[in-house]
Structure 1
Amino acid sequence: MWYLPESERVKFKEPFGALFPDIDSALKYLGDAPIYAVGDVVTRNLRRKGIVPQLSVIDGNTMREPCKCTPLLPVKRIEVKNPAGFITEELICALRTGVDNSPALVHVEGEEDLAVIPLVMMLSEKSAVLYGQPCEGVVVRIVDSASKKRAEELFSLFVQV
């Protein structure tokens, strides 16, 4: 498993993609790209628009508080444990299984926030990863070679434990 040291966390505060104020503007931006969602609220908002993402990664919380809007999706569900501040092998395997068997939902016991990093690294180019930026909106990252390189740079800040 990999741990993100406290000293490196500031590098994860900036959006890892284009920031939009709401789901509607985010959807206009991404066009017909396959959609992957990280977060309960983003997944719920996509579902309200009639969209079932290829993969949704949720943890039942929003801003570390229980989320009363966790969506129910009629898709394969994968349960995984991943503590806050970590990326576990189990999470990476669950993401890969979900990507390979989409549509799917990965339900994380712990925290799902950092799943964006390995997800971008494993997705094919032109896929879109959406996640919430607390109190600001929705981030859309279209996967391309630059985003994969940046994800690898961010992942290199983790310490294997």
Structure 2
Amino acid sequence: MLRLPEAHRDLFKKPFGTLYGNIDELLPRLEGRAVYAVGDVVTHNLLAAGVVPDIAIIDGYTMRMPCTRSPLLRARRLTVKNPPGTITGELEDAIGEIVRNPPGVIFVDGEEDLAVIPLVLAAPTGAAVLYGQPGEGVVLRLVDAPAKQEATSMLNVFVRE
């Protein structure tokens, strides 16, 4: 398991991609791409906009409060444990499995906030990864070599336990 030390938490407050005020602003950028969503609200908003993500990673919460808008997708569902502030091997394995064989939903018992990092690493070039930036909007990261390099750099501040 990888744990994000408290001292490095602020590094993850800035968007890991382009920040948009809402889903509608970025919809044109999704055309023709695999779409991967991290978070209950982002997934719900995509569905409301008529976009069914190929992969959704959700935990039933938003900003640590129960999310009553958890999406119900008709896709294979994997459930994994992932405590707050961590990236477990179980989460990484589930992401790899779903990326190889989409569509699917990964339901996280714990917290899915950091799943965007292994998701970008596992995703094929050209995929669109979206996640919520609390109080600001939605972040879109198109997967390319620089995205994978940045994700790898982010993982380097984690401590293996």
Whether the 8 Å CA contact 1:30–1:140 is kept in 2: the answer is no
1:52 deviation in Å?
A: 1.5
The code of the aligned residue for 1:38 comes to V
Structure 2: gaps of 5 or more residues: none
| TM-score (structure 2 length as normaliser) | 0.98
TM-score between the two structures when normalised by the length of structure 1: 0.98
The residue that corresponds to 2:108 in the other structure is 108
How far apart, CA to CA, are the structure 2 residues paired with 1:31 and 1:44? 18
Q: Answer yes or no: is 1:126 the counterpart of 2:118.
A: no
3-state SS in 1 of match to 2:138: strand
Where do residues 25-40 of structure 1 align in structure 2 (5 Å cutoff)? 25-40=25-40
d(CA) in 2 for partners of 1:117, 1:60: 20
Give 1:45's aligned amino acid. Answer: N
The CA distance in 2 between the partners of 1:29 and 1:99, in whole Å, is 20
Q: CA–CA distance in 2 between the matches of 1:61 and 1:153?
A: 28
Shift of 1:29: 2.9
Q: CA RMSD in A?
A: 0.8
Kindly tell me the number of residue pairs found equivalent between the two proteins.
Answer: 161
1:50, distance to aligned residue in structure 2 (A): 2.1
- What do the CA deviations read for 1:14-73 (whole angstroms, capped 9, x no partner)? 000000000011212333221000000000011112222111000000001100000100
Residue 99 of structure 1, CA deviation: 1.1
- The 5 Å alignment of 1:80-95 reads 80-95=80-95
Task: Could you tell me which runs of 5 or more consecutive residues in structure 1 were left unpaired when the two chains were aligned.
Answer: none
More deviation in 26-35 or 60-69? 26-35
SS of the residue 1:78 aligns to: strand
Structure 1's consecutive aligned runs of 4 or more residues displaced over 3 angstroms after TM superposition are none
Match of 1:160 in 2: 160
